[in-house]
Amino acid sequence: MRAPGARQLRWAATTSATTEPTQGGQEGSKGTPTPPKAVKFTAESYPELKRDARFAEVTSDDVKFFQELLGSESAVIESISKDASDDIEPFNTDWMRKYRGHCKLVLKPETTEQVSKILKYCNDKSLAVVPQGGNTGLVGGSVPVFDEIVVNLQRMNKIRSFDQVSGILVAEAGVILEVADNFLAENNHIFPLDLGAKGSCQIGGNVAANAGGLRLLRYGSLHGNVLGIEAVLPDGTIVDDLCKLRKNNTGYDLKQLFIGGEGTIGIITGISILCPQRSSAINVAYFGLESFEAAQAAFKEAKGQLSEILSAFELMDGRTQKILSYVKDKKLPLEGEHPFYCLVETSGSNAEHDNEKLQNFLEHVMGEGIVTDGVVAQDQTQINELWSCRETVPESLGHWGGVYKYDLSIPIAELYQLVEDTRERLTKAGLVGETDEYPVVDVVGYGHMGDSNLHLNVPTRRYDKEVEKHLEPFVYEWVQKRNGSISAEHGLGIAKKAFIGYSRSDTMIRLMKQIKDLYDPKGIMNPYKYI
Ligand code: FAD
Ligand code: MLT
Ligand code: ZN
């Protein structure tokens, strides 16, 4: 292990808050960005998807109604009476540049009452709707397929209240995650979710996707932390359930249907959420290991020795770090190459006590030969730098133009085996290579090891049906055989629509459909997606 302070890590920029939907996958390579390739329309990539003839097409009368309702000119972007396709494009195309819709109308309401009036109108007129937050979703759920209207929540961005004693935050759905967390930091609290897209994603989108992120291991799932929800149903009904109680055992907990519902039964307009006290002592260590078995041993030791102060345990394979270093032109924190890397974070309230625990842990894993080399951050800049080796992985993998992303829950002992098996399969099929004739650049794995959540990623030079055929249903069958889940945290959207049966029984799918029909009898909410 390097001596504390011996290593001055290079500065890495952190994400900053933006309000327009972002698109990734094209930036930041050694100052020479890959020229953006046109994104194919979803309807062309998936010709089996047909526009549902029950839905009406947007007319100029509809546009007039929404313009009068929303008042402000910037609240309506329309391509019905003029060509505004460039302005609409960011709302039509997803972050991976894999899915693209034909939407001609984007609405940005500012109040729950406006959302209610929008949905009631759409329901009465059979106009289909896609709720959209920061558009950072990774399963194609946040963009239209055909001409659905996008309702983007970015203008509903107020923090309504915060209770210093209970730590309960009430905020509108369009508040950007990083903005919410910065507000909480000023109040000595932390948002119980953190993820690489924090500068763009919205807390309503996080809840709708039931995002997991980097510290689920410590703070738990949004299903436990979200205490209340304000949402609008397709018929305009406002579900006013912004409960601020930790305990409330009074019948069905209906808010849970919106958490992870992916915008298929209504639009979330506000949430109340329990936020923990912010830890005053944070430590981050990054180390290299020789095998996945060693990574498991390190995790076991981390749980045993760091116990209540452990706040993250993340895994990156060597290939991921190599790609990151190449694309970002970044010097990695450790010399030499290692097949695996782990990032461990502790968060506690007593720096001396935490440092002692971490030192004991590191000495033990080094002494036992579990960890080959490592570095501990000495200040906030170095903490950010180490985290950037994990958080900027998704962006760097998009460098060549496309990524097939799989987000899986797998029993931990076999977690990495899927990456090896997939690599072997694609290599045997002659799809992986260094030059342009090969669609696949590499097959890599990283993820939230502390939650047994693997991100299997296949960066490609182009989205290619041949590659897709070799990956699906292979990956899903592999996971099903191990009783895993085909989606640990990203959801199903359109990407996994056809594969839900690999993780849910017929009975469960039937019950989900009944709920969908009950809340959204005309099916206008986020159609063509998983339900
Ligand atoms: P969007 O992408 O806009 O929408 C996501 C889904 O929710 C869509 O189905 C949409 O229709 C629906 N929706 C959005 N807002 C509402 C609303 N107000 N009411 C009802 N439905 C709504 N996910 C993780 O779980 N863990 C991670 O660690 C993680 N890291 C990421 C890192 C990067 C770089 C990127 C690009 C994405 C990452 N994601 C991660 C995926 C993504 O789920 C999260 O970024 C986030 O939860 C999505 O929020 P959003 O506001 O962008 O929602
Ligand atoms: C992550 O953990 O980085 C996110 O879930 C995004 C991804 O899977 O690439
Ligand atoms: Zn993740």
Locate tokens 């109340």: which residue? 272
159-274 is classed CATH 3.30.465.10: yes
DSSP 467: H
| Number of Cα atoms under 13 Å in the Cβ half of residue 307 | 5
CA 216-388-281 angle, to 5 degrees, is 60
Distance CA 396, CA 388 (A): 11
Q: Tell me what pLDDT residue 72 has.
A: 86
Distance CA 269, CA 153 (A): 8
Q: Is 464 helix (H, G, I), strand (E, B) or coil?
A: coil
State the CB neighbour count (10 A cutoff) for residue 33: 11
| Number of Cα atoms under 13 Å in the Cβ half of residue 467 | 24
pLDDT, tens digit, for every residue of 173-215? Answer: 999 999 999 999 999 999 999 999 999 999 999 999 999 999 9
pLDDT, tens digit, for every residue of 117-130? Answer: 999 999 999 999 99
Q: Tell me what pLDDT residue 37 has.
A: 74
Residue boundaries of the structural domains of the chain: 1-36+280-490, 42-152, 159-274
**Which among 129, 130, 138 is the best mutation to test ligand 1's pocket, defined by most ligand atoms within 8 Å of the CB?**
138
Distance CA 1, CA 372 (A): 8
Tell me whether residue 80 is exposed, middle or buried, using C-beta atoms within 10 angstroms of its C-beta: 0 to 12, 13 to 18, 19 or more: middle
Locate tokens 């994990």: which residue? 390
Q: Of all protein residues, whose CA lies closest to atom 39 belonging to ligand 1?
A: 137
Q: What is the H or E stretch that residue 60 is in? A: helix 60-70
Locate tokens 């290579």: which residue? 433
Please report the atom of ligand 1 found closest to the CA of residue 204: 18
- Report how far apart, in Å, the C-alpha atoms of 273 and of each of 47, 98, 168, 174, 241 are: 41, 32, 6, 14, 12
- Report how far apart, in Å, the C-alpha atoms of 405 and of each of 61, 324, 446, 482 are: 41, 16, 11, 19
The answer to whether residues 297 and 432 touch, using CB atoms and an 8 Å cutoff, is no
Distance CA 103, CA 457 (A): 29
Q: Of all protein residues, whose CA lies closest to atom 14 belonging to ligand 1?
A: 205
Distance 269 CA to ligand 1 centre (A): 15
Distance 458 CA to ligand 1 centre (A): 20
Distance 489 CA to ligand 3 centre (A): 7
Q: Which ligand is nearest to the CA of 195?
A: 1
State the CB neighbour count (10 A cutoff) for residue 358: 24
215 pocket-lining for ligand 2 (C-beta < 6 Å): no
Q: Is 286 helix (H, G, I), strand (E, B) or coil?
A: strand
Six token digits for residue 337: 């190459």
Six token digits for residue 13: 């920029």
**Which among 22, 177, 195, 269 is the best mutation to test ligand 1's pocket, defined by most ligand atoms within 8 Å of the CB?**
195
Residue 500: CB partners within 8 Å, gap ≥ 6?
A: 486, 492, 509, 530
317 pocket-lining for ligand 2 (C-beta < 6 Å): no
Distance 365 CA to ligand 1 centre (A): 36
State the CB neighbour count (10 A cutoff) for residue 214: 24
Distance CA 247, CA 105 (A): 41
C-alpha radius of gyration, the chain, whole number: 23
| Nearest CA among 390, 366, 455, 395 for reference residue 419 | 455
Distance 202 CA to ligand 1 centre (A): 7
Q: Of all protein residues, whose CA lies closest to atom 33 belonging to ligand 1?
A: 197
196 pocket-lining for ligand 2 (C-beta < 6 Å): yes
The CATH code for residues 42-152 is 3.30.43.10
Sign of the dihedral through C-alpha 236, 205, 478, 398: positive
Q: Label residues 260-294 b or e (16+ Cβ within 10 Å = b).
A: bbbbbbbbbbbbbbbbbebbebbbbbbbbbeebeb
pTM of the model: 0.95
Phi and psi at residue 517, to the nearest 5°:
-65, -35
* Segments in the chain below pLDDT 50: 1-19, 22-33
213 pocket-lining for ligand 2 (C-beta < 6 Å): no
Q: Of all protein residues, whose CA lies closest to atom 7 belonging to ligand 2?
A: 394
Q: Of all protein residues, whose CA lies closest to atom 2 belonging to ligand 2?
A: 447
The answer to whether residues 230 and 240 touch, using CB atoms and an 8 Å cutoff, is yes
The CATH class that applies to domain 1-36+280-490 reads alpha beta
CA 447-206-511 angle, to 5 degrees, is 95
Six token digits for residue 392: 């900027």
Partners of 161 in beta bridges: 170
Distance 288 CA to ligand 1 centre (A): 31
Q: Tell me what pLDDT residue 34 has.
A: 55
Please report the atom of ligand 2 found closest to the CA of residue 403: 9
Distance 405 CA to ligand 2 centre (A): 9
Pocket of ligand 1 (CB under 6 A): 24, 95, 130-138, 141-142, 153, 173, 195-197, 201-202, 204-206, 208-209, 211-214, 262-263, 267-268, 394-395, 489-490, 493, 526
24 pocket-lining for ligand 2 (C-beta < 6 Å): no
Q: Which ligand is nearest to the CA of 490?
A: 1
Q: Is 162 helix (H, G, I), strand (E, B) or coil?
A: strand
Q: Of all protein residues, whose CA lies closest to atom 35 belonging to ligand 1?
A: 197
Q: Tell me what pLDDT residue 307 has.
A: 97
Pairing of strands 159-163, 373-376: unpaired
Locate tokens 């997803």: which residue? 94
The answer to whether residues 415 and 292 touch, using CB atoms and an 8 Å cutoff, is yes
Q: Do domains 1-36+280-490 and 159-274 have the same CATH topology?
A: no
Distance 167 CA to ligand 3 centre (A): 26
